Amino acid sequence: MLFACESNRKKESNVGIIKKNDFSNSLDFKYETINEVILYSFLNKSFIETLPYRKDVNYNSDVQLSNDFIKERILLDEKQKQELFHLITKDSCPKEQLLADCYNPRHEVVFKNKNNEIIGSIEICFECNDFRHSKSLGEATYYCHDAMRLFFWKAGIRYFINDDHKGKMTEDEFNEIEKKYKLLAK
């Protein structure tokens, strides 16, 4: 049984709804230091990592992507950056959200500073609702999985997130990985 996202919120007059938790102080960076936030979708990383291939983009030990397998790349605008920052720092979902036994990530959030350096990242497997975070995110790791999936959908990511915001594994994905892998320089 999956846990639904709880809305542990309190109402304050003339202020609106405020969530109880605020993890923004636990991050190694502040909102003001974020210059860019990029959403990525890519082919099944767990399967790809079983193949010997070059990693074109190796930002740091937390973030590794290969341009060959990236499906979508979306640079967030200021409003979207604020919404995402609020989602990851002020959410109130329980830590006990049920996870599946897989980890097949196909999505990533990358935070960059003004020097184009990666200051944080979140790798996501929507198939099993599991996440991997860079250490710089501190305690900001308990947001609602469905809220994150919906955020990706609203931002324009379509790969592995269909209209009901659920991913579906297909034979086509594995065929595409194998086809691209055969074309890579060895």
Regions of the chain with pLDDT less than 70? 1-20, 52-66, 91-101, 142, 162-170, 185-186
CB atoms within 10 A of CB 105: 23
pLDDT tens digits, 52-64: 665 555 444 445 6
- pLDDT at residue 114 in the model: 94
4: DSSP letter:
P
Inter-CA distances, 181 with 63, 178, 185, Å: 20, 5, 9
pLDDT tens digits, 94-122: 555 555 667 888 899 999 999 988 899 99
